[in-house]
Amino acid sequence: MDNKNSYRLRVHNLSKHFVLHQRGGKRIQGFTDVSFSVRRGELLALTGVSGSGKSSALKTIYRTYIPSRGRIILESDDDSAVDLACCSESEILSYRRHAMGFVTQFLKILPRISALDAVAAPLLENGVDREEARQRAADLLDALNIRRELFNVSPLTFSGGEQQRINIARGVIAPRKLLLLDEPTASLDEDSAGRVLKLLHRLKKQSISMIGIFHDRERMEQVADSEYQMQLERL
């Protein structure tokens, strides 16, 4: 059973600095001593001024960036736990496949793949058969108000807001238990943003945990259960 009161992720004193080898080892602070927890089925919003390290924090949790210091404890539904800060690259790849997902503002897919197939792909990887996967992808694209005439077109030709919705659809159609969202509603109008927020509410009911960065406080407050404010270090 999934215990709603237990944690999904606990981040302790996480820090990241960058060393620019091209510039004689110059050190740039990403963020320092970040600590927060996210329960199962909750969304935590990361806030703070531009440059305070919000995107870097998500990339560090996803291990795109190697942490400089700290712990990132990810718990499974069976209450087993791992520290993403120090597990191996192959373990990280496995956690990315099964336990955590990352949705950015930017769509990265191969050319000549239709919107429907791009969104259905994560279900196929999970062994769902093609017809069902395409049907579920179509339902999700309908929910996100993507016009049906676009379903068989490559999303690379779509508008920014349409691409962003394809990206979100891909990220949530077969949701991992922890989702990292970097400004998922940044280029969306009110109607589309509202639809995305509704989708995030639905994910919370499925005990999916999320860490989100929202450029708009009003949208953030509609969906976040808690907030962690990143501090801009003044060196």
Ligand X SMILES: Nc1ncnc2c1ncn2[C@@H]1O[C@H](COP(=O)(O)OP(=O)(O)O)[C@@H](O)[C@H]1O
- Residue 90, both tokens: 């192959």
Cβ 173 to ligand X shortest distance, Å: 26
Q: Does 163 bind ligand X (CB under 6 A)?
A: no
In a 10 Å sphere around its CB, with 0-12 CB exposed, 13-18 middle and 19+ buried, how is residue 178 labelled? buried
- 87-146 binders of Mg ion (CB under 5 A): none
The entry of Mg ion, ligand X, none that residue 30 binds, CB within 5 to 8 Å by partner kind: ligand X
Residue 189 burial by Cβ neighbours in a 10 Å radius (0-12, 13-18, 19+): exposed
Q: Which does residue 194 touch among ligand X, Mg ion, none (CB within 5 to 8 A, set by kind)?
A: none
Q: Does 54 bind ligand X (CB under 6 A)?
A: yes
Does 167 help bind ligand X (rule: CB under 6 A)? no
Closer residue to ligand X, CB minimum distance, 34 or 140: 34
Tokens 């329960």 appear where?
39
Residue 141 token pair: 């694209």
122 binds, among ligand X, Mg ion, none (CB under 5 to 8 A by kind): none
CA distance 209 to 193: 19
Name which position in 2, 3, 27, 28 contacts ligand X (CB under 6 A). 28
